[in-house]
Homo-oligomer: A and B are copies of this chain.
Amino acid sequence: MADHLEPHSVQPFGYYGAIIHSLSPETLEIIEQGLIVIDGAGKIALVERKVDRSKIKEVLVKHGFDGSTKIEILDNGQFLIPGLIDTHNHAPQWTQRGTGRGRLLMDWLNTITFPHESRFADPEYAKVTYASCVDGFINQGITTASYYGSLHGEATKILAETCLEKGQRAFVGKCNMNRNAPDFYKDASASESIQVTEDFISHVRKIDPTARLVTPILTPRFAIACDAEVLTGLGQIAAKNPDLPIQTHFDEAEQEMEITKELFPEFDNEADLYEHFGLLNRRSILAHCIYVGEYEMGRLKALDCGVSHCPVSNTTGGMFGMAPIREYLRRGIKVSLGTDSGGGYSSSIIDAMRQAFVVSVARETLCGGKDTSLSVAECFFMATLGGAQVCCLEDKIGNFVVGKEFDALEIQTVGPHSGTITPIEDIDKLPDLFEKFIMTGDDRNIAKVYVKGRQIKG
C-alpha cells in the first residue's frame, strides 16, 4: 500500500515519430516527425511538429530541455495516440461479460447480473477479481475508466485501491440500489446506502487526497433501484461536493423508462427526475441516452451533461438501440464511449469505436438519412478527447497539448506480435495505418500504456 502514496514522479523522457490525436470531433491531427517531451510530473512539456530526426537534440536544447533526455524513436508502423477513455464500465460484471445476450434488461439484471455482483460481498473475491479486471482494461489501453462498483463499501474501496496501485486513472462509485433488486443484493436501507457512500468517498479521499488518479463518483444505479430518499441523499452529497462526478443509466430501454414512469409519475421524463434530485450537472455521465426526446436534449445541453455511448451493449441486449450521436454532436452535447462491460461483451474501446460506426450507419440507413454516419475520426474523438470532456478532465487529458498529463498508447502495427491487424504494406501511409488499427487492431497492437507519464503496460 505504501507505493501508491508516494508522490508521483517519472524521469523526463520523450517520443519522436508519428503522433495522432483529435483536436475536435471532426479534426484528427496526424503529426509526422513529431517530438513530444514529458516532464518529471508526467506532464507534456513540449509538442513539436516536422522535426528532422537529426535535429532532435538541437530542438530539445532550444526549448530548454536537457539534450540527453531519453527520446524513444517510433519506427515505421508505430505511432502514439492518447489513452482510451471508457466512461461506462461495471467492474463487478468482469467475469460475466458477454453472457446472457438477447435477454431484456430487467431479466438480464435479475438472472445474470445481480447474482454475479452479489459475490463481491467477499473482500477476498473482490481483491482477486478486481485485480484481473483492472489489468484487463489497462491491457486494452484504457487509461481512464468510470467504474460502477457493486453495492458493497468494502469491495468498492478495494476497487479504488486496485486502480491506484496499478496506476489507472479512474472514477469509482459505490452503486446505490435499495429497491427492485433481490433481497440477497440490495442496500439494507436508504440511510445505509447513503452512509456507505459517504464512508466510501472519505476513504478514496484519504488514499488519493489530490485525486491524482482516483476520484469517487456518485453512482445511483438508476431510478428504478433507488427510492426518493436515496436520490435525495445523493443530491445532498452532490450539492456539498460540487467537484464530485455523478453517473447513472439514462433512457436506456423502453422497459426501463416505463417502470421509471410508474415509480415516479410526478416526472414526465428522466431528465426532470434526476434534475429534481440535484443529480444533473456538468459532471453527470449519462450512460446510453438512446431514447432522449427533444425536451430532454435541451436539458442535457443546458446543464452540460455528458453522454456515454455504449454501442456494443445497445446492439446485443434484447433490443437494437441506436443512440442519436450525430444529433448530440450537432447540438454540442458532450459525447464519449463506454464499453459497458459486462452488458457489453467487449473490454475494448476499439470495439466500441467500430460498433459506434455500425450504429451510426444503421441510423443513417434506417432513420431517413438525416443523421449521417460517423467518420472514423469522430469515433476516435469520442474515445479520447470526447471522453475527457464528459469526465470534465479535458484540461488534463484527452490529447497531446502542452500542460496536459501524458496518458498515451504506443501503437505497434507490424512485427511478430501484431496479432490479426490487416497487414501493413509499403504503399500504406499514416492515415492507412491509423484506419487499419481502428478497424482491425486489438490489444496486441497496444505495445505500451502510459498514465500521467508512468508506463503501466509493456
A residues lining the B interface (CB < 8 Å): 94-99, 101-102, 129, 132, 136, 139-140, 315-320, 342, 345-348, 354, 357-358, 361-362, 364-366, 373, 375-376, 419-420, 422-423, 425, 432, 435-436, 439-440, 442-443
Q: Chain A: interface secondary structure?
A: loop
Supposing A98-B440, A99-B436, A422-B97 touch, asked if A365 and B136 sit within 8 A by C-beta, the answer is: no
Closest 9 CB pairs of A and B: A98-B439, A320-B365, A320-B362, A97-B422, A345-B439, A98-B440, A320-B361, A315-B358, A319-B365
**A209 CB, min distance to chain B CBs, angstroms:** 33
**A419 CB, min distance to chain B CBs, angstroms:** 8
Q: Do B361 and A315 have beta carbons less than 8 Å apart?
A: yes
Q: How far is the CA of A303 from the CA of B272 in the complex (A)?
A: 58
Q: How far is the CA of A326 from the CA of B320 in the complex (A)?
A: 16
Q: Which residue of B lies closest to A373 (CB)?
A: B102
Q: Do A354 and B345 have beta carbons less than 8 Å apart?
A: yes
Q: How far is the CA of A132 from the CA of B316 in the complex (A)?
A: 33
Q: Do B99 and A435 have beta carbons less than 8 Å apart?
A: yes
Q: Do B423 and A132 have beta carbons less than 8 Å apart?
A: yes
**A356 CB, min distance to chain B CBs, angstroms:** 11
Contact of A140 among B346, B348, B357, B420 (CB under 8 A): B420
Q: Do B101 and A320 have beta carbons less than 8 Å apart?
A: no
Copies of this chain, whole number? 2
Q: What are 29 sample pairs from A and B whose C-beta atoms fall under 8 A apart?
A: A94-B423, A97-B436, A97-B439, A98-B422, A98-B436, A99-B432, A99-B436, A102-B357, A102-B361, A102-B373, A129-B423, A132-B423, A139-B420, A315-B358, A315-B362, A316-B354, A316-B358, A316-B361, A318-B361, A319-B365, A320-B361, A320-B366, A342-B422, A347-B420, A347-B440, A358-B358, A362-B362, A366-B366, A420-B442
- Kindly list chain B residues whose C-beta atoms are within 8 Å of the C-beta of A346: 440
Q: How far is the CA of A241 from the CA of B279 in the complex (A)?
A: 71
Can you name 17 extra interface pairs (CB under 8 A) apart from A94-B423, A97-B440, A346-B440? A95-B422, A96-B422, A98-B422, A98-B440, A99-B422, A99-B436, A99-B439, A101-B376, A129-B423, A136-B420, A136-B423, A315-B361, A316-B358, A317-B361, A345-B439, A420-B443, A442-B442
**A126 CB, min distance to chain B CBs, angstroms:** 14
Q: How far is the CA of A97 from the CA of B440 in the complex (A)?
A: 8
- Kindly list chain B residues whose C-beta atoms are within 8 Å of the C-beta of A136: 420, 423
- Kindly list chain B residues whose C-beta atoms are within 8 Å of the C-beta of A101: 357, 376, 435, 439
**A301 CB, min distance to chain B CBs, angstroms:** 27
- Kindly list chain B residues whose C-beta atoms are within 8 Å of the C-beta of A439: 97-99, 101, 345
Q: How far is the CA of A317 from the CA of B357 in the complex (A)?
A: 10
Q: How far is the CA of A112 from the CA of B46 in the complex (A)?
A: 37
**A207 CB, min distance to chain B CBs, angstroms:** 26
- Kindly list chain B residues whose C-beta atoms are within 8 Å of the C-beta of A425: 95
Q: How far is the CA of A423 from the CA of B244 in the complex (A)?
A: 32
Q: How far is the CA of A375 from the CA of B319 in the complex (A)?
A: 14
Q: Do A357 and B96 have beta carbons less than 8 Å apart?
A: no
**A106 CB, min distance to chain B CBs, angstroms:** 17
Q: Which residue of B lies closest to A424 (CB)?
A: B95
Q: Which residue of B lies closest to A432 (CB)?
A: B99
- Kindly list chain B residues whose C-beta atoms are within 8 Å of the C-beta of A348: 420
**A415 CB, min distance to chain B CBs, angstroms:** 14
Q: Do A316 and B95 have beta carbons less than 8 Å apart?
A: no
Q: How far is the CA of A342 from the CA of B423 in the complex (A)?
A: 12
**A283 CB, min distance to chain B CBs, angstroms:** 31
**A361 CB, min distance to chain B CBs, angstroms:** 5
- Kindly list chain B residues whose C-beta atoms are within 8 Å of the C-beta of A365: 319-320
Q: Do A375 and B423 have beta carbons less than 8 Å apart?
A: no
- Kindly list chain B residues whose C-beta atoms are within 8 Å of the C-beta of A435: 98-99, 101
